[in-house]
Amino acid sequence: MNRLVFGTAIDGHTQWVALLGYPVKHSFSPAMHNAAFERLGLNWRYSAHAVKPEDLGKAVAGLAALGYRGANVTVPHKEQVVSLLDRVDPSAKRLGAVNTIVMAGDGKTVGYNTDGIGFLHGLRQDGFAVAGAAALLLGSGGAARAVAFALLDGGVRSLVVVNRTPEKAEALLDALRRSGAAEGAALRAGRWEEAFLRECAKEVDLVVNATASGMGKGEGSIAYPLSPKRWLSPGPFVCDLVYHPPETELLSVARSLGCRCQNGLPMLLHQGAAAFALWTGQEPPLTVMAEALRQANGG
């Protein structure tokens, strides 16, 4: 990986932003944001911190105490962090998940969620129109919640949510209904099992993996509950929010079937750009951020 060389030294004026997750070694966010700070001549730095779930409260309090300007929050903390913040933006409160924290001028922590914006921008980047589509969503965690709300806001005609624990998928659908976002769309929940997935995959226009399944390589990889080879069909646009490795088993199988595909980098780029604007108040240099992601991904 090419390493960024900064022209501005870290000193007492440096402003800090953090990534809180567990794990975080795979993240490309530091490369993306530090490249953007450098391009705009900002004396800011972005660091990544592996925080266990039981330590999240202490980590958030520590950021405020140390004068950090903000943070990103990733798996598995997006839902848990909501209750730890002083204020939560209405759209993030509706989701029940936060991926961006801003330290306000009064010293309070304010939560936002830029995942849905990033997801829809990423789909548009590759020419997929959400309006009127039928979608299959794998997962019901923080990222899945953001994707589900974004899809409904974007006008999908139907949404199927699949989880290894179907009660969690049902809980997400209940949240969607209570919010009013699901009006006019057909909703369905199911278990991550072969017959159900095969049936759904034949009928949808879009498949989204919003779980960590497929992440990593070798011994540290996260296995799928069921191999995509056993249920995926030709036809749908397949989006995997995982970006390490750049081509997961799901995307590899999809390409072999002739499906159009997208990994998690477009969403990472656009949610990161929205977070960057919230922290700095400046227009993010998208081209620079995209190039940093390309280099971090091995070119």
Residues that are catalytic = 78
Residue 21 φ then ψ, to 5°: -165, 180
Spatial distance between the Cα atoms of 284 and 266, rounded to a whole number of angstroms:
15
Spatial distance between the Cα atoms of 271 and 98, rounded to a whole number of angstroms:
12
Say whether the peptide bond before residue 90 is cis (omega within 30 degrees of 0): no
Q: How many CB atoms lie under 10 A from the CB of residue 148?
A: 29
Strand partners, 186: 158
Strand partners, 49: 20
Spatial distance between the Cα atoms of 284 and 286, rounded to a whole number of angstroms:
6
> Which residues have C-beta within 8 Å of that of residue 14, sequence separation ≥ 6?
43, 44, 45
